[in-house]
A and B are shown apart, each in its own frame.
Chain A
């Protein structure tokens, strides 16, 4: 189909300046980043109704084997395969809830609205939770669960390679006079992630991982019927239940730990810069239990947090 003579040129006819280089790169990027068809091909029609081949023809030369359309389609497909694969790997929980087809549709809509703004694919899921809230149609009727999962899965990425600071030790504590320990400001490791969730997605993720491991083992075994049953058996979706979780790392591995609400509140207060005394006041509910019960419990938490190296020097 001939190009409508009234159509504005899509790409510059020459690149004789940085501005024209920018125009050409912008034009190609629009083609490369446009979503694929359901059959994973480049869309035949451009956004204004022109054939995409006309748009591609302004940018790329054909050769003896491939048209301009086909040559740019290679990049279009590589782009989407790369970013979708990356999100697919980062979001096993979301995939388990939505199934592969709906997950891919969510991921594609997300990347159209929030294309990567970082030099690394690591950061690709950083705005996914926000998008799930903004566009609930992609996840309903499980939007709240998916929102929790997106937050949880992004937190795991953050835990993996965020900085660690020198650990706060018992010696550091003993250096502080007893009378001043209440005023002590303890810091938390920057990599430690604290989440307050509407669903117990930590348990769900573990169940998903376990199923994936069984499937992998099943693939390597000679029992096709057992494998088929395993594939058919989906991980049961969790019921709503307020959950507090810490995601942390120890010796290069990532762990989740459920927290009591009071422990969560104390940690959040410490992270906000409150003194130890203020954090305890914020965290512990008034007069529900005897003070002695709480003292033993809180001491146990702090001992455990120090063992897990969550506390660090300011």
Chain B
């Protein structure tokens, strides 16, 4: 949905990730961009160039925070020092919502710096939802959780990935950052129908969408974020916005990053699908939308 409790009732358009190779272009030329997504952890520092650049960006643009290390699914639970730094950053950016991944990545205080997949069980969903609620209550912000791309499945899983995502977000009463590329990547790696996934997530909770490029190998697909968006992902995106409504959309391009204009133009291709969805005049999805701040 364009504006809902899970994205702070905002109606953001098409954004791109703020990346170092584009800093000079953005600061000097001030291109028109709906919004930038920042990786929270890159700016959870006490000073220096990262914060100087961020402050200059904040003076000109809308910024949304996206994290890679909250690890909502970690059995250890959220790290308090991390949360304290994160909250200080949210005060600076005034992000209307905050997203991170439905994954784990640390064990007993050591960090993998990866987005590791969850076992899809009721107990894991319950613990993950409790972690999300704790983070939301501490940060006092709407939270959206992003589905990750994955390369393995666990014997212990009791449900599909979309059932697990739904179980978590319903229990946590939070939003979804629907990563369409990740759905595609995982569908190929695990052999499910990506449209089944899209049709069965709680559409009214979708706060934002991600699109990105990926790389095909002989036996699996890797979520590399180093290419333009491929056609099957655009088709999934078109289906997603028909189901969920036109939602804040962000292109991720994190490796082999081309010029700012090339990245931005790739993101703006989403406009064609948005126009089709608007023309179809599909009613907004209904649901129990009661997100807490």
B210 to chain A, nearest CB (A): 19
Cβ contact within 8 Å between A60 and B48: no
Interface residues of A in 170-200 (CB under 8 A from B): 190-191
Report the minimum CB–CB distance from B242 to chain A (whole Å): 30
Which of A86, A120, A122, A159 has the largest number of chain B CB atoms within 10 A? A120
Task: Tell me which residues across on chain B come within 8 A of A61, comparing CB atoms.
Answer: 152-155
Encode contact with B along A57-81: 1 for CB under 8 Å, 0 otherwise. Answer: 0111101111010111011001100
Q: How far is the CB of A137 from chain B (nearest CB, A)?
A: 24
Q: Which of B42, B48, B76, B189 contacts A162 (CB 8 A)?
A: B48
A–B Cβ pairs within 8 angstroms, 24 of them? A13-B156, A15-B121, A16-B122, A18-B127, A21-B127, A28-B116, A29-B107, A29-B112, A33-B110, A60-B155, A63-B191, A74-B152, A78-B114, A79-B114, A86-B113, A116-B113, A117-B109, A117-B110, A117-B111, A119-B44, A161-B49, A162-B46, A163-B46, A191-B48
| Min distance, Cβ B231 to any Cβ of chain A, angstroms | 23
Q: A161-B46, A163-B46, A190-B47 are in contact. List 13 more A-B contacts (CB 8 A).
A: A15-B121, A15-B124, A15-B156, A22-B75, A25-B104, A25-B107, A32-B116, A59-B155, A63-B189, A74-B220, A74-B222, A117-B109, A191-B47
The smallest beta-carbon distance between B187 and chain A, in angstroms, is 12
Report if B45 contacts A (CB, 8 A): yes
Specify which chain B residues have a CB less than 8 angstroms from the CB of A115 in the assembled complex. 110-111
- Asked if B114 contacts A82 (CB within 8 A), the reply is yes
Task: Determine if B123 and A21 form an interchain contact, defined as CB atoms under 8 angstroms apart.
Answer: yes
Q: A71 and B124: CB pair below 8 A? A: no
Instruction: Please classify how large the interface on chain A is, using the bins under 10, 10 to 19, 20 to 34, 35 or more.
Output: 35 or more
Chain A residues with CB below 8 A from B152, complex form: 59-61, 68, 71-72, 74-75
In the assembled complex, the Cα of A123 lies from the Cα of B243 at a distance in Å of 42
Closest to A64 in B: B191
CB within 8 Å of A: which B24-80 residues: 41-42, 44-52, 69, 74-76, 79
CB pair A118 B74 closer than 8 Å: no
**Does B82 sit within 8 A of A, measured CB to CB?**
yes
A143 to chain B: closest CB distance in Å? Answer: 26
Residue of B nearest to A60 (CB): B152
With the chains together, A29 CA to B76 CA distance in Å?
13
Whether B75 and A161, one on each chain, are in contact in the complex, defined by CB atoms closer than 8 angstroms, is no
A288–B156 Cα gap in the complex (Å)?
Answer: 76
Q: Which residues of B contact A16 (CB under 8 A)?
A: 121-123
Chain A residues near B82: list those with CB within 8 A.
119
A218 at the interface (CB under 8 A from B): no
Instruction: Give the residues in chain B near A60, CB-CB below 8 Å.
Output: 152-155
Q: Does A44 belong to the interface (CB within 8 Å)? A: no
Give A29 to B114 CA distance when docked, in angstroms: 11
Which residues of A lie under 8 Å from residue B104 when comparing CB positions? 25
Report A-chain residues with C-beta under 8 Å of the C-beta of B76.
22
Are the CB atoms of B114 and A18 closer together than 8 Å?
A: no
Q: Look across to chain B and name the residue whose beta carbon is closest to the beta carbon of A22.
A: B75
Q: Which of B47, B124, B153 is close to A164, meaning CB atoms less than 8 Å apart?
A: B47
CB-CB under 8 A from A70, the residues of chain B are: 219
Interface flag for A17 (CB, 8 Å)? yes
Q: B41: which A residues are within 8 A, CB to CB?
A: 119-120
Known: A74-B220, A163-B47. A24 touches B156 (CB 8 A): yes
**Residue A121 at the chain B interface, CB threshold 8 Å:** yes
Residue B190, interface by CB 8 Å: yes
Could you tell me the distance between the alpha carbons of A161 and B49 in the complex, rounded to whole angstroms? Answer: 7
B111 touches A119 (CB 8 A): yes
CB contacts (< 8 Å) of B12 on chain A: these are none
The docked-state distance in angstroms from the alpha carbon of A19 to that of B116 is 18
A16 to B125, CA, bound (A): 10
> With contacts A22-B75, A66-B220, A75-B116 known, is A116 near B111, CB below 8 A?
yes
In Å, the complex CA distance between A29 and B110 comes to 9
Q: Please tell me which one of the listed residues A17, A164, A191 contacts residue B123 in the complex, with CB atoms under 8 A apart.
A: A17
CA distance A21 to B124 in the complex (A): 7
Cβ of A162 and Cβ of B52 under 8 Å apart? no
**Which A residues are in CB contact (< 8 Å) with B151?**
71, 74-75
Report the bound CA distance from A20 to B123 in whole Å: 9
Scan A247-274; emit 1 where CB is below 8 A from any B CB, else 0: 0010010000000000000000000000
CB pair B48 A160 closer than 8 Å: yes
Bound Cα distance A16, B123 (Å): 5
Tell me the minimal C-beta distance from B66 to chain A in angstroms: 14
Chain B residues 70-123 with CB under 8 Å of chain A are 74-76, 79, 82, 104, 107-114, 116, 119, 121-123
A83 at the interface (CB under 8 A from B): yes
**CB of A301, distance to nearest CB on chain B (Å):** 24
| B-facing residues in A91-149 (Cβ within 8 Å) | 115-122
Q: Mark B194-235, 1 if CB is under 8 A from A, else 0.
A: 000000000000000000000000011010000000000000
Contact present for A12 and B156 (CB under 8 Å) = yes
* A121 contact from B50, B74, B113, B153, Cβ within 8 A: B113
A25-B191 in contact (CB<8A): no
From A21, A65, A82, A119, contact of B219 by CB (8 A): A65
At the interface, yes or no: A26 with Cβ under 8 Å from chain B? Answer: yes
Residue in chain A with minimal CB distance to B70: A119
